A and B are shown apart, each in its own frame.
Chain A
Amino acid sequence: MLRNSETRFGLVTIVLHWTIGLLILGLLLLGFIMRRTGIDPALQFALYQWHKSFGFAALGLALIRAIWWLVERTPSPPASVSPLERKAARLTHDTLIVLAIVVPFAGWAVASASTLNIPSFFFNMIVIPHLPLARSETSENFWTFAHALLAYVTLALVAIHAAAALFHHFKRGDEVLTRMLRPGVRPVGAGSGGTSARKRDDAAVERK
């Protein structure tokens, strides 16, 4: 249930996937709003601090996700997925896992290199130290640009990733999306398959 199987995602992967996904989308939205010109300055300050706290939360979870991805097996794609699609999926997933770590790090670098030297006070609970970067306007501008650029690349990949999942679900009728929604046990015929998994598999077959 917690662990991945040969064809199914476990609860750990699923919870991490959706939590990080929601955080990424929320952070993109927050980042977009807080950079708007004409925003109320007090609100802007608050949004920046929320963005930093949620960004650190995303970084922590993304690191756990990456470790989990390295130590845990990755379920094979359904048989209907072609070798080229497998390669594209693999590349997208690997890149997303890396970007989920790199983007927050770049954000952390912005806070660290900024001449404003505003502490990162994680949800007003603990001060997260700055990265050992020299504080300068040039450095701050560079990291701000890198953080934003990488964030937009992430957004593009998330869009492709989501579109592919929807394509698989609605056009192909396979289990690519559904197996990331509910933790599965072993598939039909593997011995200990639960009834819920059996029903889902049946449904998938019927759609085909």
Chain B
Amino acid sequence: MTVTINSAVKATVYIAFIFSTSAANAQAPALADAAGSYRIASSSSIRFSVGQVGGGGGIAGRFAKFSGGFRIDGGNIERSSVEFTLYPESVRASERRVEDFLRSSAVFDAANFQTVTFRSTRVRQTGPATATIEGALTARGKTRKERFAVTLIDWNRRSISFTIRGSIRRSPYGMDVGTPIYSNVVEFDMRIIGQRR
């Protein structure tokens, strides 16, 4: 665990530097300080994109409404957990027609499936500031194991932020409309900000 703490501190040394300028004699923050429960703040962003044949453009959007929380286990990072819910009705895209299509029975079927949920089952640290999270993703009533890559970006006593990326195949969820013009793979690019509970 000491190794973990040291590496995390190295990865966030610039943050420590900012801290030290404001409180010269304060100690650099340790990841152990980050242990605890967090609520996912609404200032987080959940972006996604789907490539299209021939390159260029594709579908890009974000979700405006989501909720969730996570717990960082100070003693063992791998015992940390996250649960997350997003509301497909809140999808935002380049134009109304695209949003309506994404909400429709062709994609999220938001009328019948109001939420998409993720519940972690396994967290594995892969580097000083990186981890992979495995868990159960449920969309359109189908649940599958998916994996996301997490990178620690920033943290302080009250909040912590990560980028979370993942490539999710949509066909197993019955959302393969538009393939092969549009890629079967949805790239998620999320910036998750956790506020300490």
A interface residues (Cβ-Cβ under 8 A, vs B): 40-42, 45-46, 49, 115-119, 121, 124, 127, 129
Contact = CB atoms under 8 A, between A and B. Distances in A.
B105 to A, nearest CB: 6
A118 B105 contact: no
Contacts of A124: 180-181
Interface residues of B, number: 17
B54 A116 contact: no
Contacts of A40: 105-106
Nearest to B52: A119
Interface in B94-115: 94-95, 97-98, 101, 104-106
Given A41-B101, A41-B105, A119 B54 contact: yes
A42 B54 contact: no
A119 B105 contact: no
B57 A41 contact: no
B178 A45 contact: yes
Contacts of B94: 115
Nearest to B58: A117
Contacts of A117: 56-57
A116 B95 contact: yes
A102 B52 CA distance: 28
Interface in B165-188: 177-178, 180-181
Contact of B106 (A42, A49, A121): A42
B1 interface: no
A42 B177 contact: yes
B106 A41 contact: yes
Nearest to B181: A121
Contacts of A118: 52, 181
A49 B181 CA distance: 9
Given A40-B106, A116-B97, A127 B178 contact: no
B181 A119 contact: yes
A126 to B, nearest CB: 9
A45 B177 contact: yes
Nearest to B100: A41
B18 interface: no
**Which of B57, B101, B180, B181 lies at the interface centre, i.e. has the most chain A CB atoms within 10 A of its CB?**
B181
